[in-house]
């Protein structure tokens, strides 16, 4: 049985510097899909020269951030002393836990002549018991991301978070969760089964796609019902199509979000701000002077 669409929508502009960004989640219909409570799409864009577009140093608490760099070069600094770069196809994951400062920049890939950037940033809500844990950081390069070909030469699937068949991501799981990048070749199709009660949504970053017999437009976010069923991706165009598919088990604890903090109560939000202003999240020291 094919899953039914609950709703579809498009994001709101939230540009930073030279980057064109659409905020996809939260939206007017939902605040979360499984543990995912935030999604920004940094749309594909060519740049005439190297740039320095970043968020600047800022705090987080109660979540894990995940940046998936499809094209470009992502650089990370944080107040726990972590620093790394990931390149096209790589992932940066940071568990904010009980509080951290970080700074991320997105630039063109210095290893290649490709002058384009394209990326996603997700926030993954942590269970209450994990919100008080110490921060952690993990950089995953493109060749470390699990990937396999789809049947009948239909395309490929990358497992950014969670697992699919025999593929398992290196990103830690604190609840049942998944994040897949699926590419379906022209004239091909691919069907994936979703279990009962799992929350799941799709996003179309680059082209129109047909999902369960309905054509959706590039830039659309589509959420499906929670009954067990299938999602069929059909590509009737002349070029490959990409689908970002993500979700997981419902987050059953209270969600209170404000600014860069996602906690379980208003008092915990107040604590997060108080500890930040008291300097308890530490300090970033890096060569770019963002402190």
- Structure tokens belonging to residue 270: 């107040």
Low-confidence ranges of the chain (pLDDT < 50): 289-291
Q: What is the pLDDT of residue 17?
A: 84
Q: If you count them, how many residues does the chain have?
A: 291
Q: What is the pLDDT of residue 146?
A: 98
Q: What is the pLDDT of residue 141?
A: 98
- Structure tokens belonging to residue 198: 């799992």
* Other C-beta atoms lying within 10 Å of the C-beta of residue 256: 14
Q: By the 8 A CB rule, do 62 and 281 touch?
A: no
- Structure tokens belonging to residue 220: 């659309």
Domains of the chain, first to last: 5-277 (2.60.120.10)
b/e per residue, 109-122, with b = 16+ CB within 10 A? beeeeebebbbbbb
27 CB-near residues (< 8 Å, 6+ apart): 9, 11, 221
Q: What is the pLDDT of residue 78?
A: 96
Q: What is the pLDDT of residues 234-260, one digit of tens each?
A: 999 999 999 999 999 999 999 999 999
Q: What is the pLDDT of residue 290?
A: 44
Q: Which of 32, 33, 4 is nearest to 231 (CA)?
A: 4
Q: What is the pLDDT of residues 52-106, one digit of tens each?
A: 666 789 999 999 999 999 999 999 999 999 999 999 999 999 999 999 999 999 9
Q: What is the pLDDT of residue 52?
A: 61
């Amino acid at each position: 049985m094919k899953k039914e669409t609950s709703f579809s929508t498009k994001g709101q502009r939230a540009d930073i510097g030279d980057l064109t960004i659409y905020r996809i989640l939260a939206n007017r219909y939902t605040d979360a899909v499984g543990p995912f409570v935030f999604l920004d799409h940094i749309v594909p864009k060519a740049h005439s020269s190297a740039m320095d577009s970043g968020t600047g140093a800022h705090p987080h608490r109660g979540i894990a951030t995940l940046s998936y760099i499809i094209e470009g070069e992502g650089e990370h600094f944080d107040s726990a002393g972590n620093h790394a770069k990931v390149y096209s196809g790589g992932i940066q994951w940071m568990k904010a836990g009980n509080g951290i400062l970080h700074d991320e920049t997105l630039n063109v890939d210095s290893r290649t002549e490709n002058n384009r950037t394209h990326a996603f940033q997700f926030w993954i809500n942590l269970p209450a018991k994990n919100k008080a844990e110490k921060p952690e950081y993990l950089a995953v390069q493109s060749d470390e991301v699990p990937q396999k070909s789809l049947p009948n030469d239909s395309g490929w699937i990358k497992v950014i978070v969670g697992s699919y068949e025999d593929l398992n991501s290196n990103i830690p799981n604190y609840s049942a969760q998944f994040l897949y990048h699926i590419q379906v070749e022209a004239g091909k199709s691919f069907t994936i089964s979703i279990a009962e009660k799992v929350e799941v949504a799709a996003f179309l970053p680059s082209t129109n796609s047909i999902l369960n017999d309905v054509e959706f437009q590039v830039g659309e976010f589509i959420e499906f019902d929670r009954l067990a069923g299938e999602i069929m991706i059909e590509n009737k165009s002349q070029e490959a199509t990409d689908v970002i598919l993500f979700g997981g088990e419902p987050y059953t604890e209270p969600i209170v979000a404000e600014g860069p903090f996602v906690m379980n109560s208003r008092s915990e939000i107040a604590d997060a701000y108080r500890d930040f202003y008291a300097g308890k999240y530490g300090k970033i020291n890096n060569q770019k002077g963002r402190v």
